[in-house]
């Protein structure tokens, strides 16, 4: 892809973002180790405690809690990484900021990664984290009527899938879903015409590696669950309000736009924030760019209103 399609203020950071060697086991292991060092991380604000806790099954949860006030709500936030890399620590600065600004508890699950742990491992871990949050709501003074689920990229897809699963299970429902460039449709990875576009940060060859690792031989078949690939869901009625942000030159733009349109058609309030010239996860790759700051501010403003509804 021509770098001139990227917004000028994002080009330097995007052009210097390394190619991720995720198509081999060795490459994935190296990337998992180096990723926290590759992503720019702003200093976390004061006034929030960050702790590791474990669920009954032993899954680790990274918990962000305001230290001086009683929380008004909570969010389950799921990190990105194409289902094959990533960890909650990469979002420390973002989640610390949101916890303090919105006065909420945030739980980020250290879910199991593919291909070592294919579907449904990751979605099961996210579901367990949601129920842990519900079970511990009283301990953290959380109003269970003010709880959201969010995530970015693969984490956005897992967030959308978790919303579907929780809806189907019944019980306490999230009030909002907060989705950054979510990875929603495995069928995108099978469109080989997208390989030539070579999208910045996350291209379709990496997308195929991620979906293949997660779904194995089921990728692209009718056997794929909507909990794994939310775009497979036919009935979207009754879901919580959604905010979805995406750049218009990134790989997931078309699948995200279509999902947002289908949510609206099903009667689900959905705000789609499209950033012209924005590649995948641009606000994380170039956090100091003015467009990234404005984009993030809009998203947090929407979340604040949703949690206060």
pLDDT score of 71 = 78
pLDDT score of 43 = 63
pLDDT score of 70 = 80
For the segment 214-261, what is each residue's pLDDT rounded down to a tens digit?
999 999 999 999 999 999 999 999 999 999 999 999 999 999 999 999
Higher per-residue confidence, 27 vs 109: 109
Domain ranges of the chain: 3-308
- Among 106-110, 139-143, 162-166, 249-253, the range scoring the smallest mean pLDDT is 139-143
pLDDT score of 142 = 95
- Residue 68 pLDDT > 80: no
pLDDT score of 41 = 60
For the segment 10-20, what is each residue's pLDDT rounded down to a tens digit?
999 999 998 88
DSSP string for residues in the chain: --GGGS-HHHHHHHHHSPPP--SSHHHHHHHHHHHHHHS--PPPPSSEEEEEEE-TT--EEEEEEESSS---EEEEEE--STTTS--GGGGHHHHHHHHHHHTEEEEEE-PPPTTTS-TTHHHHHHHHHHHHHHHTTTTTT--TTSEEEEEETHHHHHHHHHHHHHHHH-SS--SEEEEES----GGGGG-GGGGGG--SSS-HHHHHHHHHHHHGGGTTSTT--TTTSGGG-S--TTPPEEEEEEETTSTTHHHHHHHHHHHHHTT--EEEEEETT--TTHHHHSTTSHHHHHHHHHHHHHHHHHHH-
pLDDT score of 308 = 93
What integer is the mean pLDDT of 125-144?
A: 96
pLDDT band at 40 (very low <50, low <70, confident <90, very high): low
The percent of residues above 70 in pLDDT, for the chain, comes to: 97
What integer is the mean pLDDT of 195-222?
A: 96
pLDDT score of 42 = 53
CATH no. for 3-308: 3.40.50.1820
């Amino acid at each position: 892809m021509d770098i001139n399609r990227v917004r000028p203020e994002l080009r330097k950071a995007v052009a210097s973002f390394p190619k991720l060697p995720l198509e081999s086991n060795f490459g994935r292991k190296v990337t998992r180790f180096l990723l926290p060092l590759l992503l720019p991380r702003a200093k976390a604000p004061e006034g929030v405690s960050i702790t590791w806790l474990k669920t009954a099954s032993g899954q680790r949860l990274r918990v962000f809690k305001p230290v001086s006030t009683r929380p008004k709500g909570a969010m389950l936030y799921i990190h990105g990484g194409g289902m094959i890399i990533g960890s909650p620590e990469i979002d420390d600065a973002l989640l610390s900021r949101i916890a303090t600004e919105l006065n909420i508890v945030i739980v980020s699950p250290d879910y199991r990664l593919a291909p070592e742990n294919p579907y449904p491992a990751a979605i099961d871990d996210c579901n367990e984290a949601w129920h842990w949050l519900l079970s511990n709501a009283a301990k953290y003074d959380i109003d269970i009527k003010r709880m959201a689920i969010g995530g970015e990229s693969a984490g956005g897809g897992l967030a959308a899938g978790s919303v579907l699963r929780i809806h189907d299970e019944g019980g306490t429902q999230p009030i909002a879903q907060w989705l950054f460039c979510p990875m929603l449709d495995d069928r995108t990875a099978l469109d080989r015409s997208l390989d030539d576009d070579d999208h910045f940060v996350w291209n379709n060859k990496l997308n195929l590696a991620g979906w293949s690792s997660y779904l194995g031989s089921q990728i692209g078949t009718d056997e794929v669950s909507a909990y794994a690939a939310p775009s497979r869901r036919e009935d979207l009625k009754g879901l919580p309000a959604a905010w979805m942000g995406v750049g218009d030159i990134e790989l997931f733009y078309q699948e995200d736009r279509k999902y947002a349109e289908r949510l609206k058609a099903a009667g689900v309030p959905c705000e789609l924030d499209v950033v012209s010239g924005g590649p995948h996860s641009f606000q994380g790759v170039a956090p100091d760019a003015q467009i990234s700051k404005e984009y993030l501010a809009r998203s947090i403003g929407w979340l604040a209103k949703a949690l206060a509804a």
